Chain A
């Protein structure tokens, strides 16, 4: 459920159809995966996962799946 909500936000930010946003979808730091998208995703992860991720860590994400791994890891760390 949370993943779907975050995917919906990501789809809007990256201007990519949500059905194409599988875990292997490559993020393009030269294109729409820029500082603006990263700032927005920090807010979206906070909202949907109740946790905060670091902007620098997000900037290192190469694929969509990396974002979810990061959000889940922070979520588990925060709960620990």
Chain B
């Protein structure tokens, strides 16, 4: 599916990461220094934010959204909430309802959840763009966040060293930009990234076929990015940044070569956060551009992963308001144990 939706603007993005960190030193103590160093060298991940048992994905997204409303925006103007996550607070109700209540948003708004992971931010922006294009909404809050680390099996040190938790909030409004979307789905790979049912109707642990995901990413990411370039009639040389989902450093480096673009155009922000699923693109935006004081400019974002699903969006981030990632501290008792 590809479409250009007109009259849009990504106004602002904020992100929140748990204050509780898992460091290489802590991991070395459990899994051995040599093994941890070997994995960290490839993944480029040195630290991960880990949600404690009481922190939910909505808490992280609400923290990020409060920053937007405290600093710059009027929450009364929000007409819709889209929440993207693989780890909703509850099986029911929709977490977007909890976010509406927590933020004190008006009740005459539309709010719904989308179950997607690493491609989720593209889906969230797509839904927000549709709501605005249809004139249903003037401003939509897109919240993308996961607390995926609680689905990692004990002793699965490779996944433990790669996945982090985070929540983000973005405001999409009517504007003058035209957004090009290219979105794909291939359910034949549904089991390549999966949390199967566990015992006693409880959930199981995350299972990932890393090789299959790598093969998939190498096959599709450059194609979807190129498609968006074609739709926007952009020369890749004139695209200022390529904001890719952040699985790990080595995959990003291979994808950058496959895209045939300069490495400095592809921000990498996994070092402090790891793979944060649907939050990774907006989190990278907040981390990279506030740290380097750069203007994001004309961008292509691409997400890819669970489903399997993938997609890209071409948009102009001129005048976007972004904030450095926040450190979320749970107000509840922390019981986190590695």
Contacts and interface: CB of A to CB of B under 8 A. Distances in A.
Contact of B39 (A36, A46, A58, A59): A36
A43 B211 contact: no
B203 interface: no
A18 interface: no
A10 to B, nearest CB: 13
Interface string A34-61: 0110111011101100001011101100
B38 A32 contact: yes
B31 to A, nearest CB: 13
B254 interface: yes
B254 A46 contact: yes
B223 to A, nearest CB: 13
Interface in A1-49: 13, 15, 32, 35-36, 38-40, 42-44, 46-47
A40 B258 contact: no
Contact of B42 (A13, A46, A47, A54): A13
Contacts of A58: 211
Given A36-B210, A47-B254, A54 B38 contact: no
Interface string B31-74: 00000001100100000000000000000000000000000000
Contacts of B214: 39, 42-43, 55
B261 to A, nearest CB: 14
Nearest to A34: B158
B3 interface: no
Contacts of B158: 35-36
B218 interface: yes
Contact of B211 (A13, A35, A46): A35
B38 A55 contact: no
A44 B253 CA distance: 10
A36 B212 contact: no
Contacts of B211: 35, 38-39, 42, 54-56, 58-59
B38 A43 contact: no
Contacts of B38: 15, 32, 36
B250 A42 contact: no
B241 to A, nearest CB: 22
Contacts of B257: 47
A42 B209 CA distance: 13
A74 to B, nearest CB: 11
Given A13-B42, A32-B38, A36-B39, A54 B215 contact: yes
29 contacts: A13-B42, A15-B38, A35-B211, A36-B38, A36-B39, A36-B158, A36-B210, A39-B210, A39-B211, A39-B250, A40-B42, A40-B250, A42-B211, A42-B214, A43-B218, A43-B250, A43-B251, A43-B253, A44-B254, A46-B254, A46-B258, A47-B258, A52-B215, A54-B215, A55-B209, A55-B211, A55-B212, A55-B215, A58-B211
Given A36-B42, A40-B42, A52-B215, 6 more contacts: A13-B42, A32-B38, A38-B211, A47-B254, A47-B258, A52-B218
Interface of A: 13, 15, 32, 35-36, 38-40, 42-44, 46-47, 52, 54-56, 58-59
Interface of B: 38-39, 42, 158, 209-215, 218-219, 250-251, 253-254, 257-258
- Which 7 pairs of residues, A with B, have the shortest CB-CB distance? A55-B211, A43-B254, A39-B210, A39-B214, A42-B214, A46-B218, A38-B211
